[in-house]
Amino acid sequence: MDYNYLADLLFPNTTEAPADIEAKYPPRNLPEGAKVTRFAPSPTGFVHFGGLFPSTVGERLAHQSQGIFYLRIEDTDAKREVEGAAEGLITTLAHYGINFDEGAVLGGDRGDYGPYRQSQRASIYHVYAKQLVREGKAYPCFCTDEEIQTLSQTDKKAEIKNKDWHEDAEAARLQMLKQREFTIEEVEAEIKAGHKFVLRILADGDPNKKVPFTDLIKGKLEIPENDEDFVLLKSDGIPTYHFAHAVDDHLMGTTHVIRGEEWLPSLAKHLQLFRYLNFKLPKYLHIAQIMRLDENGSKKKLSKRDMGANMNDYKEMGYAPECVNEYVMTLLNSNYEEWHAQNPEKPYTEFPFSIKKMSTSGCLFDFKKFNDISKNVISRMTAEQVYKYSLEWAKEFDAEFASVLENDPEYTKAILAIGRGGKKPRKDLATWRDVKDYAGFFYDKYFKIEQPIDERFDSSDIVNCLNAFLESYDCCDTMDVWFEKIKTISAENGFCADTKEYKNNPDAYKGSVADVSMFLRVAVTGKLNAPDMYSVMQILGKDKVSERITSMIDSLK
């Protein structure tokens, strides 16, 4: 077989040699040990939670080593591509602080190792494809899609759990193997007839032979050699993931390939390809998948459509991006939480991220844990920050609330400052959406009696206590004086002023000072639970406090 002739037949317009391409992609001038990593999504939708892991790892590894982190768009499948998805991915990633040194950015590409969109690199792949044909390592296959589908029954594979499937697949493989035997004349005839072909690798592996391989996360693995003549170039001349991965990561100088562990089964193909192409193999990090629980209680890979998968949803739910980062970091490096506890003020980017600390097994997404982290992050913010972020959120998702918030910024900030800034800050907010529930009662627009006063109390007693409070209330009182007055009112109306005493002897009283406080709380906030009443009243102001208490009294008469 004259492979050179075959190569020219298949790629008549490809004139460059691999060496010509290599010259355009010189080694990067980086310090010793610098890592070059990339995030390489296909533009088929949004960034999902699972995608945040490899991108965060890549970003950390590169920037921690003064390396390069770039974005490559794997748009090799026009059928699945979603209009505007690439731009959406870039925007979302930026929202989570994932910034790229090179690659696809809004409005074009940046960097000397592009193009960074695979659809624009067809001619480059063809150079290497042609080279493989010349060396007898790849061959054209003229089988149609339908033929292969029928043979392998892939559309029925869900039902075929037994050996049938295996046999069908084997039959398909043998059929395809025949393609290996085509003569030059036959290929020439097919080409002349205008038939399309896919380019397949001529696999030389024996799956019974295992090659040792070390993954930086998984450790030592045994990979069976590849014997599948997988597709390099689709019939439209665009490469498959496998081929594009090898060519691009080689040319772009990727030192560490970071991807999900679902790629492990096809690693054998990649090892073979790098060997065929004579490329230096990069290091690999196969990250364990994020899981979710299905309705039967078993773990499944978290995928699109799943609750919590779409990162754009987090914005709407009101989660701050730094909360998401924190959670991702705790899952990525188990010692992150400890470090953060010791360095509460430092951003996560100062944490010494370590590959060794990455888990080998998939974890479940835990909203409870995530919310806890979120509460901690927000509790450390200033009232000013909380105001800014919650207003930003409200402007986008709750315009009415936004206008209420910014109607009197100082008032809102005073509210948000309650219990904030001390050693033991309140942790009421996990999301910006929570602000409305937490502090809505401060605004007349949202104030209503949500939880009534316990029915076991006599309304005349309640009215008496509230009236007594109104008479004695002085907004200039200190907290101590304020509370002493409530105690006095309690005692005068048959409620125990001392809660301990009340506990010891509950039958001697109508209730305790805690109950009297509850009357006030419901009257003023409409709720059974609220932040410190003294602070609430201070911020609300005497007029508003009086108005609400009076209103409660009227409703009880």
Question: Using CB under 7 A, which residues numbered 102 to 161 contact RNA?
Answer: 143-145, 148, 152, 154, 157, 161
Nearest to 8 by CA among 184, 186, 257: 184
Nearest to 532 by CA among 372, 451, 448, 420: 420
**Which amino acid is present at 298?**
S
Alpha carbon separation from 32 to 3, 255, 456 (Å, rounded): 41, 12, 75
Tell the smallest beta-carbon distance from residue 345 to RNA (Å): 16
Nearer to RNA, 13 or 298 (CB): 298
If one asks whether residue 368 binds RNA (CB under 7 A), the answer comes out as: yes
Nearer to RNA, 214 or 278 (CB): 214
Residue 399, SS3 per DSSP: helix
Tell the smallest beta-carbon distance from residue 143 to RNA (Å): 6
Torsion of CA 491, 495, 496, 497, to 10 degrees: -50
Strands 68-71 and 36-39: parallel
Query: In this structure, are residues 207 and 229 in contact, taking their beta carbons and an 8 Å threshold?
Result: no
State the binding string over 397-416 for RNA (x if CB under 7 A, else -). Answer: --------------------
Query: In this structure, are residues 147 and 171 in contact, taking their beta carbons and an 8 Å threshold?
Result: no
- Judged by CB under 7 A, the chain residues 445 through 504 that form the site for RNA are 479, 483, 499-500
**Which stretch, 1-9, 120-128, 522-530, 538-546, contacts RNA (CB under 7 A)?**
522-530
- Judged by CB under 7 A, the chain residues 68 through 97 that form the site for RNA are 74, 76-77, 80
Question: What radius of gyration, in Å, describes the C-alpha atoms of the chain?
Answer: 33
Q: Write b or e for each residue in 346-358: b if 16 or more Cβ atoms lie within 10 A of its Cβ, otherwise e.
A: eebeebebebeeb
Nearer to RNA, 148 or 463 (CB): 148
Determine which residue in the list 28, 134, 301, 510 makes contact with RNA, applying CB under 7 A. Answer: 301
Nearer to RNA, 305 or 557 (CB): 305
Determine which residue in the list 247, 328, 378, 518 makes contact with RNA, applying CB under 7 A. Answer: 518
Nearer to RNA, 204 or 408 (CB): 204
Tell the smallest beta-carbon distance from residue 108 to RNA (Å): 20
Tell the smallest beta-carbon distance from residue 165 to RNA (Å): 6
Dist CA 63 CA 55 (whole Å): 12
Determine which residue in the list 361, 410, 471, 474 makes contact with RNA, applying CB under 7 A. Answer: 361
List Cβ neighbours of 312 (8 Å cut-off, separation of 6 or more). 46, 47, 88, 92
What angle in degrees, to the nearest 10, is found between the helix axes of 409-416 and 383-397? 120
Determine which residue in the list 231, 496, 524, 552 makes contact with RNA, applying CB under 7 A. Answer: 231
Q: Which residue has the tokens 């039958």?
A: 507
Q: What is the DSSP letter of 266?
A: G
Nearer to RNA, 198 or 540 (CB): 198
Tell the smallest beta-carbon distance from residue 184 to RNA (Å): 21
Tell the smallest beta-carbon distance from residue 331 to RNA (Å): 5
Nearer to RNA, 14 or 330 (CB): 330
- Judged by CB under 7 A, the chain residues 163 through 182 that form the site for RNA are 163, 165-166, 169
Three-point CA angle 119, 125, 129, nearest 5°: 145
What angle in degrees, to the nearest 10, is found between the helix axes of 533-540 and 409-416? 170
Nearer to RNA, 22 or 366 (CB): 366
Nearer to RNA, 255 or 371 (CB): 371
Residues paired with residue 211 on neighbouring β-strands, in sequence order: 223
State the binding string over 11-50 for RNA (x if CB under 7 A, else -). Answer: -----------------------------xxx--------
Q: Is 266 exposed, middle or buried (CB count within 10 Å of its CB: 0-12, 13-18, 19+)? A: middle
Nearer to RNA, 224 or 308 (CB): 224
Query: In this structure, are residues 264 and 219 in contact, taking their beta carbons and an 8 Å threshold?
Result: no
Tell the smallest beta-carbon distance from residue 154 to RNA (Å): 5
Determine which residue in the list 18, 111, 115, 224 makes contact with RNA, applying CB under 7 A. Answer: 224
Tell the smallest beta-carbon distance from residue 322 to RNA (Å): 17
Dist CA 403 CA 330 (whole Å): 36
If one asks whether residue 521 binds RNA (CB under 7 A), the answer comes out as: yes
If one asks whether residue 162 binds RNA (CB under 7 A), the answer comes out as: yes
Nearer to RNA, 350 or 501 (CB): 501
Residues in contact with RNA, counted by CB under 7 A, come to a total of 91
Alpha carbon separation from 313 to 193, 216, 306, 316, 319 (Å, rounded): 51, 32, 11, 5, 9
- The separation between CA 27 and the C-alpha centre of its own chain, rounded to angstroms, equals 32
Nearer to RNA, 64 or 376 (CB): 376
